[in-house]
Amino acid sequence: MSISIEPGHTFTFQELEVATNNSGSENELGSGGFAVVYKGRLSNGTLVAVKKVLTAHNTPSHGLKEFEVELKFLIKVRHGNLVSFLGYYIHLEHKLLVLEYVSNGTLTKHLFLSNGNDSLLTWNQRVRITLHVAQGLEYIHNNILMTA
């Protein structure tokens, strides 16, 4: 893999396996087309989300390209309304991204679902969230995509 990476924190595979309890299913937050995301706790107590590329898709024509694009993107992103990139691990078949863990579930859950005692968001809360999302998108458009 020929990714030119700016200085940042490089995690060890062992560090991330310990943090995610060996990628245990109890820590799985979700999965997508080429990766699974796990909740983890680093040795210093910091909660993180660890995105692990599925090895079955680890080919130049599939998940590896998406991983490379995402890594290059995340290295550039620095905005208060976007999830922070904390580091990575890359070696042979293992490719992992380490991101800030965001508690309280997904935005979808809060916008559309009501869980028992939890009520849906008020319109004022929804407008505030929409503004923050728009600010994040504006940052990506003006500072990341336009300079690529």
pLDDT digits (tens, 9 = 90+) for 73-84: 888 888 888 888
Residue 64 and residue 80 share a domain: yes
**What is d(CA 104, CA 102) in angstroms, rounded to the nearest whole number?**
7
- Give the chain's residues under pLDDT 70: 1-8, 55-63, 114-119, 146-148
Task: Quote the number of domains for the chain.
Answer: 2
pLDDT confidence of residue 108: 80
Q: Which residue's structure tokens are 């890359």?
A: 90
37-57 pLDDT per residue, tens? 999 999 999 999 999 988 664
pLDDT confidence of residue 5: 44
pLDDT confidence of residue 42: 92
pLDDT confidence of residue 111: 78
Q: 70 lies in which domain range?
A: 1-103
Residue 35 and residue 13 share a domain: yes
Residue 68 and residue 35 share a domain: yes
pLDDT confidence of residue 72: 86
Residue 129 and residue 77 share a domain: no
Greatest pairwise CA separation for the chain in angstroms: 50
Residue 43 and residue 113 share a domain: no
109 is in an annotated binding site: no
Alpha helices in the chain (DSSP H): 13-19, 63-76, 107-112, 123-139
Residue 140 and residue 76 share a domain: no
